[in-house]
Structure 1
């Protein structure tokens, strides 16, 4: 498995700009309101790989006992990798790779012995994230050309390699990403672990006071419903999700309406602190020399 880069492998300016930078498609996709829906969609899609989900079920007790904490850590990881300095991103990468290291087990439904950091499992998680975030952004109305979409997939190879994927296996275009899912679909299934995970994602447990005194429940329900409704048709059929039989046109319309509503909120309120900090940080960096 490829080692993570050293903090001495880049200049101070490169560190401040991060692994992607303000001119990247990654910044455009990951700072858009549609990102939250894409993230939920990715979790539901990831759960359909029996072995990858088996690893989560066996080794991530937080998913069952405190799903909010796990979701928060996942979001923090993606945000730091996308918008943080390279040093901050590498700290997150090393933390995640450390959590994966040395964990192995046997997935009950397939009988496969696996290591949590097996390259094919890491690749599955990566590809689900990239495909979900990109397809959701495009359906939501984020202005992305076909060339932009290919560029996004190419940019995300960095994220895949950092977490431990084999670079030669990582898709670099939308066509390669689509081909990957065509190949792997026969291996996917809704295992008991996937069913449990999907329930946590769609209807996560919340303290009573949160449900009564905050808008968390209806807000999450909107995001989760859109995430499920925008899954590929074959994935929705595997889950047999009741209430999500919307046509693709209706799901897209709902997603676009959500995005437009969110965009009406001022950026200083809508955007996360790490995104705002990234914009301020790079604004202070002198333009790179030609």
Structure 2
């Protein structure tokens, strides 16, 4: 199909412009410089080119996984209070996305020195984030228990999105390897004994279940992310597919808490088809320039696959 489309007048320019717009949204104004630094700086890296974390974080399915992660993470009241009070997700949602995306890129693909520097920066930010919820519960962003929840929800989301929409689905052993790779980053961030297999990950999420509930801030965040996103009007249909794909991957208990209805026939047919079409289009548009280091993906904020 790509060969057939290659001869369509103006298609190459459309592809270039679409890819540039997506990259700018995800990577920000420093995206090109960050991509060069991450992929062209020589030196040892935390993860070699054969590691599963590169396949997962280098795929367009990260767009779906990232949104699912935000929805799932919001169900912990203390984590959500920290996000609502300090992250600027409403006032500067694209800035928050770009910072997260760049962190994922640096720790996955960058040099070991650059990755450690990024981790040190995040830890310094976390030390300054603390407060009290509306219910009077104190929280701090560097609380190892809260960090553990954020990590578990994120890794589970990226893994499930890749299994559903990745260009090349991995086998079970490789997905266990992905959880183990992600644990290295989590440990550096201060997560105690992060899960290293899919079973450990499932057990960890189950252990957090009694603490999870959709408070007013979580419900407000879900409405913002799913129904009032900060995207141009022309992009709303594509974002709607992204939102539906992310919501459909949430576990039933999380959907019930967030008040998201399940429509079985639509979610087993239309949503997967639309989700595959969307991620394939993103993958097609965001082709990175040649690099001496294996290229990264759009969700990394510094490259794409």
Query: Which bin holds the TM-score, normalised by the shorter protein?
Result: 0.7 to 0.9
CA deviation vs aligned residue, 1:186-206 (integer Å, no higher than 9, x gap) = 111111111122222213453
Offset of residue 126 of structure 1: 0.6
Structure 1 runs not aligned, ≥5 long: 1-13, 282-290
Offset of residue 83 of structure 1: 1.8
- When the two structures are superposed, what TM-score results if normalisation uses the length of structure 1? 0.78
Q: Which of 78-87 and 25-34 deviates more? A: 78-87
For residues 47-66 of structure 1, the aligned pairs below 5 Å read: 47-60=74-87, 62-66=88-92
Sort the Cα spacing of 1:114 and 1:217 in 2 relative to 1 into closer, same or farther, 3 A. same
- What is the rounded CA distance, in whole Å, between the counterparts of 2:227 and 2:98 in structure 1? 16
* 1:165 counterpart = 2:180: no
For residues 220-259 of structure 1, the aligned pairs below 5 Å read: 220-242=239-261, 245-247=262-264, 250-251=267-268, 254-255=271-272, 257-259=274-276
- What is the rounded CA distance, in whole Å, between the counterparts of 2:212 and 2:133 in structure 1? 13
Q: CA RMSD in A?
A: 2.8
For residues 164-203 of structure 1, the aligned pairs below 5 Å read: 164-166=190-192, 168=193, 170-203=194-227
Sort the Cα spacing of 1:132 and 1:271 in 2 relative to 1 into closer, same or farther, 3 A. farther
- What is the rounded CA distance, in whole Å, between the counterparts of 2:161 and 2:283 in structure 1? 22
- What is the rounded CA distance, in whole Å, between the counterparts of 1:248 and 1:149 in structure 2? 28
Q: Which of 77-86 and 19-28 deviates more? A: 77-86
What's the secondary structure of 2:230's corresponding residue? coil
- What is the rounded CA distance, in whole Å, between the counterparts of 1:256 and 1:93 in structure 2? 37
Please point out which of 93, 102, 114 is paired with 2:128: 102
Equivalent residues, number = 256
Offset of residue 147 of structure 1: 1.0
- Segments ≥4 residues shifted beyond 6 Å: none
Structure 2 runs not aligned, ≥5 long: 1-40, 297-305
* 1:135 counterpart = 2:160: yes
- What is the rounded CA distance, in whole Å, between the counterparts of 1:71 and 1:134 in structure 2? 19
- What is the rounded CA distance, in whole Å, between the counterparts of 2:291 and 2:226 in structure 1? 29
Please point out which of 243, 265, 270 is paired with 2:286: 270
Sort the Cα spacing of 1:257 and 1:217 in 2 relative to 1 into closer, same or farther, 3 A. closer
Cα contact 1:229–1:246 (8 A) shared by 2:
no
* 1:118 counterpart = 2:143: yes
CA deviation vs aligned residue, 1:125-149 (integer Å, no higher than 9, x gap) = 1111111111121123542211111
* 1:19 counterpart = 2:46: yes
